[in-house]
């Protein structure tokens, strides 16, 4: 009888131990960025690490190609599938081209989300926009109007320097900018949209090309952290400070000096640390089965409210200028 009791105790203890190990299993999340070495994504990685530290059972695998190509991301995702990660959170270089490989990941039981730059609906469970696309587009145009007026003109030509022609978020924002220009800013004329492929040297050359091709250009809108930095440098090198202003989306740490030099009057961005944190939390909660078809928790950032196609917005962008840029430059 005593032997049987000891056996039952041993079995119970073993069951509890196994349950404890299962509960403590690490959730492995592949955080796939457009390309390594981009400041915006490095900041997002910091947010992902914050989420991992907060939960205690998350391993973040920060990865991506060396250049902003769909082919590079497909190779990266294939490697994550081979590693049998629990979730993949990707900022897509091409939202359609990644669908087949992400459907493969989903078929293996991997939870797939996109963030920042989206994937077509069938390739993911949900997509986290940094902000409302309409608001981002309208804000970029508003900042461009402010920039044109800073040159002393009330009207003028503007151009867009984007990332890649296939970048999902960039294309949506550009369409929103065009809608806003047509509806509210008849004083601004969009003369060109060019692409720097999120490469510093190409973005710089494209910015110089815009200035040479359009002598009446007053503002360059770059909704990409690489493009806005390169364009500001080009304006300074071409001795066009005060005649052409650069605006768009960028990091305070990279642009504070250019605000000081007056090649940039103002720009906007959401906090990429918060974005990386939120994306990681969403992936984690999907793996854990938390949330519903209409909402998923994202830690200190609240709850992502999903629309009918699984899209959610994190928060409104924030405007930076000479009055506040240095307060944030040491943060991101």
Q: Is the pLDDT of residue 82 over 90?
A: yes
Helices and strands of the chain, counted as H and E runs:
11, 14
Q: Is the pLDDT of residue 2 over 50?
A: no
Please tell me the distance from the alpha carbon of residue 283 to that of residue 89, in angstroms, as a whole number: 7
Alpha helices by DSSP H, 193-267: 200-213, 225-237, 252-261
* For residues 314-329, average pLDDT: 95
Closest C-alpha to 227, from 244, 241, 247: 247
pLDDT tens for each residue of 242-280: 999 999 999 999 999 999 999 999 999 999 999 999 999
Please tell me the distance from the alpha carbon of residue 3 to that of residue 219, in angstroms, as a whole number: 85
pLDDT tens for each residue of 59-74: 999 999 999 999 999 9
pLDDT tens for each residue of 19-65: 433 445 999 999 999 999 999 999 999 999 999 999 999 999 999 99
pLDDT tens for each residue of 125-164: 999 999 999 999 999 999 999 999 999 999 999 999 999 9
| Average pLDDT score, the chain | 93
Task: Provide the pLDDT for residue 316.
Answer: 86
Task: Provide the pLDDT for residue 16.
Answer: 41
Q: Is the pLDDT of residue 6 over 50?
A: no
H helix or E strand, kind and range, residue 17: helix 2-23
Q: Is the pLDDT of residue 99 over 60?
A: yes
DSSP states along 266-321: EEEE--HHHHHHHHHHHHHHHHHT-S-SSEEE-GGG-EEEP-TTSEEE----EEEE
Say what the pTM is. 0.87
Q: Delineate the domains of the chain, giving CATH numbers in brackets.
A: 7-131+272-315 (3.40.50.2300), 133-269 (3.40.50.2300)
Task: Provide the pLDDT for residue 17.
Answer: 40
Q: In what order do the strands lie in the sheet with 126-129?
A: 58-63, 27-32, 87-90, 111-115, 126-129, 311-313
Q: Is the pLDDT of residue 282 over 80?
A: yes
Task: Provide the pLDDT for residue 11.
Answer: 41
Place of tokens 């990707």: 90
Task: Provide the pLDDT for residue 24.
Answer: 57
Q: How confident is the model at residue 319 (pLDDT cuts 50, 70, 90)?
A: very high
Phi-psi region of 26 (alpha: psi -120 to 50; beta: other; left: phi over 0): beta
């Amino acid at each position: 009888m005593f032997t049987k009791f000891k056996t039952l105790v041993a079995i119970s203890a073993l069951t509890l131990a196994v349950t404890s190990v299962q509960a403590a299993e690490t959730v492995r999340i592949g955080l796939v960025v457009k390309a390594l070495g981009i400041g915006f994504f490095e900041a997002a990685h910091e947010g992902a690490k914050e989420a991992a530290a907060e939960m205690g059972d998350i391993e973040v695998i920060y990865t991506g190609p060396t250049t902003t190509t769909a082919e590079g991301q497909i190779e990266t995702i294939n490697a994550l599938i081979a590693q049998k990660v629990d979730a993949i959170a990707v900022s897509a270089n091409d939202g359609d081209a990644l669908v087949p490989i992400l459907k493969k990941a989903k078929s293996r039981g991997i939870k797939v989300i996109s963030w920042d730059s989206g994937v077509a609906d069938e390739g993911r469970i949900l997509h986290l926009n940094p902000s409302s696309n309409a608001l981002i587009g309208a804000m970029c145009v508003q900042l461009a109007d402010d920039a044109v007026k800073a040159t002393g003109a009330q009207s003028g030509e503007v151009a867009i320097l984007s990332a890649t022609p296939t970048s999902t978020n960039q294309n949506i924002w550009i369409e929103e900018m065009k809608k806003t220009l047509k509806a509210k800013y008849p004083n601004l004329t969009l003369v060109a949209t060019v692409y720097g492929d999120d490469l510093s040297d190409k973005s710089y050359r494209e910015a110089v090309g815009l200035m040479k091709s359009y002598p009446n250009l007053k503002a360059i809108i770059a909704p990409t952290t690489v493009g806005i930095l390169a364009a500001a440098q080009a304006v300074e090198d071409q001795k066009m400070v005060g005649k052409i202003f650069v605006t768009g989306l960028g990091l305070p740490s990279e642009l504070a000096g250019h605000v000081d030099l007056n090649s940039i009057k103002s720009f906007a961005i959401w906090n990429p640390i918060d974005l990386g944190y939120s994306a990681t939390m969403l992936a984690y909660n999907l793996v854990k089965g938390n949330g519903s078809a209409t909402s998923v928790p994202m830690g200190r950032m609240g709850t992502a409210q999903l629309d009918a196609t699984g899209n959610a917005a994190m928060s409104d962008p924030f405007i930076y200028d000479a009055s506040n840029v240095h307060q944030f430059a040491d943060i991101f």
